[in-house]
Amino acid sequence: MEREYPGETGDTGRTRRIVTARTMAALTDRAPRIVAVVSATTLLLGAGALAGATLTDRTPGAAARDSYAVVHGAAETAQALGSWLIGLGFVLLVACGRRAYKDASARRTIGILWDVGTFWPRAAHPFAPPCYAERAVPDLTWRIATWTRSTGGRLVISGHSQGSVLAAAAAWQLPPSIRGRVALLTYGSPLERLYGRWFPAHFGPAALDSLRREVDCWRNLYRPTDPIGGPVRLPGDHGPEVDRAPLRDPLAYGRTEAHPLPAPILGHSDYQADPAFAEERRRLLARLRPDVPAPRHTADPGCGPAGPPVPSA
């Protein structure tokens, strides 16, 4: 905290809240290992119990009755624990559904998981709800291409969270003549942190590196307190760096003239409130092809003197 907020008077409670937010956000990176260990352990124990029951025609507890007391107790405990966990899983499922109706943060978390699952077409999981990406990505691509052709202007595609995945998918579909006029600004993005790890064939390092080469103007913002968004972790040898250094969260540690009240820990929300967002937007516009004329302000009433509008995905 002292390095990030120099000159600030330490506050134990404030520091504890910031550290807790960062620790909870880091659990997302440890989830694959935890899931792998739990799944492998469950699979091995289940296979052993099934094989033993097949060979001895007895349950694990009965089969271990004549062995050491420790082995017998462990077998009985594991057998009882499995039965309890099945019931507990059902209770947790009902509790999560009930909480989703009362708690906005719980609804947001469930919504994120829903968005990840319904991003893929039904060919990948035929019993899933309709895929929104099959409509959203072509529509977004059409709007980008139409606007740039009609105005001859520059465009920054701004994508937050799941919107960054849609923005990346739309950028992949653009013809080369349009990509030179388009920049990509992602923030709170799960492109690498979730999609790259769980769907590496489509969003792995090779796929994201190809996107960086095709869309040269791309910057990514993230916070260490964000449990969903993170860096895209692309090396800088194929072009400009994509990731900006982690944003400070909260923006101020104590009370300042700009923040008379303690600045909240934003986590996954309100990236556009950070000054880094406007700064990166200006830099992206400056990096776009200088020979491209500025958009005609009469074509879009939302276009101000500072530059073209920034569509958010």
Give mean pLDDT, residues 77-95. Answer: 82
Q: Taking 60 as the threshold, does the pLDDT of residue 310 lie above it?
A: no
- What is the rounded average pLDDT for all residues in the chain? 82
pLDDT value, residue 303: 36
Helices 69-102 and 12-56 meet at what angle, rounded to 10?
Answer: 130
Give mean pLDDT, residues 242-271. Answer: 85
Q: Taking 60 as the threshold, does the pLDDT of residue 306 lie above it?
A: no
Question: What count of Cα atoms within 13 Å lies in the side-chain half-sphere of residue 195?
Answer: 31
Q: pTM for the complete prediction?
A: 0.76
129 Cβ partners below 8 Å, 6+ apart?
Answer: 118
Give mean pLDDT, residues 238-267. Answer: 83
What's the rounded Cα separation, in Å, for the pair 78 and 81? 5
